[in-house]
Amino acid sequence: MRTLTKDTVSSIGQTVTVKGWVQSRRDHGGLIFIDVRDHTGIVQLIIVPEDADAFAVAEQLRDEFVITATGQVRERSDELKNPKLETGSIEIKVEQLSILNKSQPLPIQISGDAMANEDLRLKYRYLDLRRPKMQNMLKKRAALNTYMRTYMDDHDFTEVTTPILANSSPEGARDFLVPSRNYPGKFYALPQAPQQFKQLLMVGGVPRYYQLATVFRDEDPRADRLYGDFYQLDLEMSFVEDGDEVRTMMEPLIKNMVIDFAGKKLLSEDIPRIGFEESMDRFGTDKPDLRFGMELITLSEELAGSEFAVFANPLKSGGVVKAICAKNAAGLSRSQIDKFTDIAKSEGAGGLAYISFVDNEVKSPIAKFLKPEELAAIQQKTGAQDGDIVFFGADTRSTVNKVLGRLRNELADHFELRDPNVIALAWIVDFPLYELDEKTKKLDFAHNPFSMPKGGVEALKREDKLSIIADQYDMVMNGYEICSGAVRNHNPEIMYEAFGALGYNTDHVDAKFGAMINAFKYGAPPHAGCAFGIDRIFMILLGESNIREIVAFPKNGSGIDTMMNSPSTVDDIQLKELNIKPLQ
């Protein structure tokens, strides 16, 4: 029977058999020492020449050979004990030693702190996973899944799996399409979310549903977004007409995951509800990190009579002037300010005006253009004190919010304002139902078409469609969106009206959502739900900045699986079966 390395400490005097990989081999003349590693740790083997067969095998061993060793566990002398190892007080005097499999020299290093570049690590991910950090990640990920399932089961949710081969549905991202062999010219789609199926479960009488769902979106990867497939804790509750019922149900799970599972501190036990418009005005984003202040301050009224063109011109054309106060930042160098100016320009700003307060004096290239009373009003409104610097944005409201929101985050990184041991949660609520597409300038759904507009069908008849609010909500964790949900539109009349505002007729809605629309005609209960991004939550709780570090087999930053060589070409015969012509 195999003995795990962690259990050898309590086996002094006993004969054990350990199996694992050779971590290192040290030849000390008449003695050979082998560190053997399994998933529980490392233990030292000692092989002496008197055990000739074992010694002969030991001389052949190299790093990452897979071996089995049988011998007696004995305590090391005090001067040879290694306090850095859990098994550092013992060793195994080997009597039998066998090679289970050999290893070629490794293409990447799996011990020590030095690591290969990401593409090489992902190409040899099966080796990269041998690192203790990655082994620990896999165990914690499994534990997190169990933690979530236990909570959902305890609260009367039923786990139901929904189809992977589904229909194309507008969820806000591009679909992965699967051509049908039996129906030429038609396609399945991999689900961006189990949205329609879970709503149909509500119609089917399931009171509370959940699943740890795999979802698929053809979106460009980022440090916080995987390419292709990722996982959600997806859930829905029937007979719910207020999104706060869902939020209240799920808050304890997330808070317990922060405290009990991750061992981190909550910024606040009370999770604030912040309206979308308020969030944009205060933080410049609908994903605010609340661990630090530096909120956006509106100065339009205070500077309404300013003669400084940078402020005056936007105000005359209906824009705004806003600012953020960076505490103790007046010592920023010229080159550092230039760096922040470039960031502001990348978000649409013409430049970056600023004022420093140093030794009770105002220092700034723009100070000479501002009246003393304007400078005093700026200092009073922003709360700036000696040693602080105030940065300005002057443009349309949306541009200023975008510029200063980005600047706020960049300054937080520069001054290390984000405590990694603190988790700040918030609900962002009351999202707009519609938005203008920046490219086409046409009205479109801001999120997805399945949300209930506040005010029902009467709200949809307003002339100003951009003022219609959806009963939609996101949860934000440390500046990342980790959940999106809504009270669902379960009324066919309202569904038709919502699409009608975008110019779609009932035939189009029936063609796209026929199953759901028809189901709603047979007594659909009001319902609401949400989906939590498991990968992103896990990344934040583990303190990782790259989401690919917490997944066993991710694609790289270009969406390529370098290990499996995917995507790849396929045989012409396969394409012919699918009625697809190969590219010429």
**What's the pLDDT at 512?**
83
Which residue(s) pair with 327 in the sheet?
none
- Helices and strands (H, E) in the chain, number of each type: 16, 24
Which of 325, 313, 311, 400 shows the shortest CA–CA distance to 356? 325
- Specify whether the CB–CB gap between 527 and 491 falls below 8 A: no
Helix, strand, or coil here: 247?
Answer: helix
DSSP state letters, 420-434: TTEE-EEEEE--BSE
User: What number of CA atoms fall less than 13 Å from residue 134's CA on the CB side?
Assistant: 19
Res. 261 pLDDT band, cuts 50 70 90 = very high
Are 195 and 490 spatial neighbours (Cβ–Cβ below 8 Å)?
A: no
562 vs 564: CA distance, rounded Å: 6
CA 435/CA 447 separation, integer angstroms: 9
User: Which two structure tokens, joined as six digits, stand for 44?
Assistant: 């030292």
Section 71-80 average pLDDT: 93
- Is pLDDT of 111 > 90? no
Instruction: Give CA angle at 456 (453, 458), nearest 5°.
Output: 120
The pLDDT value recorded for residue 269 is 95
Cis-peptide into 184, omega within 30 deg? no
Nearest-angstrom CA–CA distance, 61 and 24? 9
What H or E segment, with its residue span, contains residue 528?
A: strand 527-533
pLDDT classification of 29: cutoffs 50, 70, 90: confident
Where does the pLDDT of residue 513 fall: very low under 50, low under 70, confident under 90, or very high at 90 and above?
confident
Q: Note the pLDDT tens digit of each residue in 278-321.
A: 999 999 999 999 999 999 999 999 999 999 999 999 999 999 99
At residue 519 the predicted structure's pLDDT band, cuts being 50, 70 and 90, is very high
**Quick check: 477 and 537 in contact, CB under 8 A?**
yes
Q: 15-24, 165-174, 358-367: which has the highest mean pLDDT?
A: 15-24
Using the 8-state DSSP alphabet, how is residue 557 labeled? T
Predicted confidence at residue 449, as pLDDT, reads 83
Cα–Cα distance list, 245 to 234, 235, 433, 529 (Å): 16, 13, 20, 9
Cα 328 to Cα 325: distance, rounded to the nearest angstrom: 9
DSSP string, 256-309: HIIIIIT--EES-SSPPEEEHHHHHHHHSSSS--TTS----EE-TTTTTT---H
Lowest mean pLDDT across 202-216, 267-281, 434-448, 495-509: 434-448
Q: What is the pLDDT of residue 414?
A: 96
Q: What pLDDT band is residue 171 in, cutting at 50, 70 and 90? A: low
**537 vs 254: CA distance, rounded Å:** 9
pLDDT at res. 30: 85
Q: Print burial letters for 313-341: b (CB count within 10 Å at least 16), e (below 16).
A: ebbeeebbbbbbbbbebbebeeeebeebb
- Mean of pLDDT values over 487-495: 92
Radius of gyration from C-alpha coordinates of the chain: 30
| DSSP label at residue 453 | B
Q: How far apart are CA 33 and CA 262, in angstroms?
A: 37
Are the CB atoms for 234 and 171 separated by under 8 Å? Answer: no
> Are the C-beta atoms of 242 and 273 separated by less than 8 Å?
no
Distance CA 369, CA 236 (A): 57
Q: Can you tell me the mean pLDDT for 352-364?
A: 92
Can you give the residue ranges of every domain in the chain?
A: 5-101, 135-242+436-551, 292-417
Nearest to 423 by CA among 287, 532, 541: 541
Decide: helix, strand or coil at residue 490.
coil
**Through-space distance between the first and last CA atoms of the chain, rounded to whole angstroms:** 59
pTM more than 0.75: yes
User: Is CATH 3.30.930.10 what the domain over 135-242+436-551 is classified as, yes or no?
Assistant: yes
DSSP structural state of residue 116: -
Which pLDDT score is estimated for 530?
Answer: 97
Q: Is 476's pLDDT higher than 90?
A: yes
User: 256, 267 in Cβ contact below 8 A?
Assistant: no
In angstroms, the CA 433 to CA 466 distance is 7
SS3 content of the chain, % helix, strand, coil (to 5): 30, 25, 40
Integer CA distances (angstroms), 34 to 21, 69, 72, 89, 555, in order: 10, 10, 15, 15, 36
pLDDT at position 271 is 97
Q: In angstroms, how far is CA 3 from the centroid of its own chain?
A: 38
Answer whether residue 12 shows pLDDT above 70.
yes
| Tokens (6 digits) for 356 | 């420093």
Q: What percentage of the chain has pLDDT greater than the value 70? A: 99
pLDDT digits (tens, 9 = 90+) for 568-580: 999 989 999 998 8
Compute the mean pLDDT over every residue in the chain, rounded to the nearest whole number: 94
| Domain range 5-101, its CATH number among 3.40.1190.20, 3.20.20.70, 3.30.160.270, 2.40.50.140 | 2.40.50.140
Three-state DSSP state, 112:
coil
Q: Nearest Cα to 214, choosing from 151, 273, 165, 259?
A: 165
pLDDT at position 32, please? Answer: 96
Q: Tell me which fold the domain 292-417 belongs to.
A: Gyrase A; domain 2 (3.30.1360)
Specify the pLDDT at position 172: 66
pLDDT of 544 higher than 90: yes
> What's the rounded Cα separation, in Å, for the pair 366 and 310?
10
Q: What DSSP string runs through 15-28?
A: EEEEEEEEEEEEEE
